[in-house]
Structure 1
Amino acid sequence: METVWACPAQLNRSLDDDLIEYAVEAQDGNVGVVVRISQVPGFDHLVVDTGVWKFGRSVVVPAGTVTAVDDPARVVRVGCTREQIKEAPRFERDQDTGDLFYLRKLGTYYESLETAPE
């Protein structure tokens, strides 16, 4: 990944509102549905409602984890597992997605996944 916060260049797109209500698929299954896209300068990310998967919890997924967008199927694919997303620093539903302390902590977590041994 170029950076955990930037949509990979090979996708030839940026995150924008046309991804709202797209399903999010991890390497091992469904994560939830995109409910918000935040483009805090330098911290592009998706807010995903996981529904009953994790007790109605929302999660933040950095743009750099996106591996593909299938517009006809309305699916965003990410390059991590459901468990890795569950283990990410917790996001509270009414939390401001522009909370830089939280975003830096989240970025550190996802960057550690890139360098972790397989």
Structure 2
Amino acid sequence: MSTADNVWGHRPESGHTAGTSLVGYKVDATDGHIGKVDKHNDDVDASYLVVDTGVWIFGKHVLLPAGTISRIDTENKVVHVSRTKEEIKNSPEFDKDKHLDDHEHRTRIGDYYGNTAPGTPGSPGTGPAGTL
């Protein structure tokens, strides 16, 4: 599977630079602000953001695979993701104290977000898109 097909890898066009911490960056969905980066893992083919959604969804955290990042604005410290607020809100429940090292949960998240580019078959709402 190439990085372009792997939802856990950074997309080349996102502007991500290895070693750059995104912790504290604001996170914007395609239709508005959703929170800020609480944790950022940059492991190859296992990269993700943990986003603190604050009051938007009652103080929950969400896990977003790096492949959902469409663009990183380092000047304004904003991460833009290629999903809507509704798609993110409907993602599998995430508990950062229980699920970070849970392989089965990560598989569910990968299936939900799909191992394909947004807007193609297998994107959110169209069912599982494959396995990790």
* Distance (whole Å) between structure 2 residues aligned to residue 107 and residue 73 of structure 1: 28
Structure 1 residue identity aligned to 2:57: K
* Distance (whole Å) between structure 1 residues aligned to residue 5 and residue 55 of structure 2: 33
Find the counterpart in structure 2 of residue 63 from structure 1: 66
Find the counterpart in structure 1 of residue 111 from structure 2: 108
* Distance (whole Å) between structure 2 residues aligned to residue 82 and residue 103 of structure 1: 20
Query: Does structure 1 retain, via aligned residues, the 8 Å contact 2:21–2:40?
Result: no
Worse-superposed segment, 57-66 or 3-12: 3-12
Change (3 A) 1:16 1:99: farther
Aligned pair partner of 1:18 in 18, 21, 30? 21
Identical amino acids, percent of aligned pairs: 34
Q: Which has the higher helix share?
A: 1
Q: How many residues align?
A: 116
Runs of 4+ in 1 over 6 A off after TM superposition: none
* Distance (whole Å) between structure 2 residues aligned to residue 115 and residue 58 of structure 1: 20
Query: Does structure 2 retain, via aligned residues, the 8 Å contact 1:58–1:91?
Result: yes
Query: Does structure 1 retain, via aligned residues, the 8 Å contact 2:8–2:67?
Result: yes
TM-score (structure 1 length as normaliser): 0.87
Q: 1:10-37: CA deviations, max 9, x gaps?
A: 2353564521000000000011000101
Change (3 A) 1:2 1:91: same
- Aligned-residue Cα RMSD (Å) equals 2.0
Find the counterpart in structure 1 of residue 8 from structure 2: 5
Change (3 A) 1:64 1:106: same
SS at match of 2:21: helix
* Distance (whole Å) between structure 1 residues aligned to residue 124 and residue 90 of structure 2: 15
TM-score (structure 2 length as normaliser): 0.79
* Distance (whole Å) between structure 2 residues aligned to residue 14 and residue 68 of structure 1: 11
Find the counterpart in structure 2 of residue 32 from structure 1: 35
* Distance (whole Å) between structure 1 residues aligned to residue 19 and residue 11 of structure 2: 14
Aligned-pair distance for 1:2?
Answer: 2.6
Find the counterpart in structure 1 of residue 117 from structure 2: none
